[in-house]
Amino acid sequence: MWKKKIIKEFIKDDKNNNKNKQIYGTIQLIFFYLLNNNLNEKEKIIDIKFPDYLRIDSNFKDFLNYKGEDLTADKIMDIFNLFEHLCFNDLCNILHNEYKEEINNEINEKIKNNFLNNENLNGIISIKELAAAVRRFISRYLVGNKIEDKIIPNSLLLPQLKRPNLWGEKIRKLQNLDELITNKLQELNLTVGQSFKFYEKIKIEDEKEILINEEDDEGNYPRRQNRRRLRKNYKF
């Protein structure tokens, strides 16, 4: 229920991009602070001593009807994941073209045969989960990265997708995650520069999740343009 509430508020404020960006920026700061400090997921936000630069934006408080005594670290992570998904298309507008390299026909055929025609990549990781991991990699590590943090476009994508924080809780806790990813992706030999095009090829289930959640109580979709685009591109 809280996901639908956030999505509706996001759509309502869609014209006010500055507000949405401020909210997303605040969530991002908090998320990475929690991630880097290995805090208890059930610890209440009000009990965490954040550094001065991590002040919680007033727009963020208003947006969530913020109550510090109820908000826990794991909830912030869930909210960040959702907001990151909602903001992805806007983030890709500032993604450098060097990360939007085309994929050749041979690799495209392998993607079609080995991924799009199979419900699960290896009986454990679904195509939806892989797409979400690629999307998170793009938004967290490629969009707006600094020169000193830049990931070389012609480096392999496979090692990057082994970052546990790119995956949902169930998947990232698998002891053989590295092996599962390697076995399925190594034959594609994709580069970091092809990340965006790879996501475009496999995104359908990941993108549908947001559209499903955008449905209002009357069964209408506020972002009808996105819905038409999906129908056109994927014929469903």
Task: Convert the pLDDT of each residue in 63-91 to its tens digit.
Answer: 666 555 567 877 777 788 888 888 888 88
Q: Are residues 69 and 140 in the same domain?
A: no
Among positive and negative, which fits the CA dihedral 162, 145, 187, 110?
positive
Look up the pTM and report it: 0.76
Q: Which of 86, 110, 134 is the last residue of a domain?
A: 86
What is the per-residue pLDDT across 14-63, written as a single tens digit (0 to 9) for each? Answer: 555 667 777 777 888 887 888 788 777 788 777 778 888 777 777 776 76
The answer as to whether 234 is a domain residue is no
- For residue 81, which of 132, 147, 154, 118 has the smallest C-alpha distance? 132
Residues 78 and 130 in one domain: no
- Residues 69, 119, single domain; the answer is no
Does the pLDDT value for residue 172 go beyond 60?
Answer: yes
Residue 222 has pLDDT above 60, yes or no: no
Predicted local distance difference test score (pLDDT) of residue 39 = 76
* Domain assignment of residue 178, given as a range: 97-202
Give CA angle at 19 (13, 23), nearest 5°.
Answer: 105
Residue 79: other Cβ atoms inside 10 A: 21
Q: Are residues 82 and 122 in the same domain?
A: no
pLDDT at 225 over 80: no
Burial 191-219 (b: 16+ CB within 10 A, else e): bbbbbbbbbbbbbbebbeebbeebeeeee
Q: Assess if residue 32 is contained within a domain.
A: yes
Give the end of a domain, one of 23, 51, 86.
86
pLDDT at 216 exceeding the cut of 60 = no
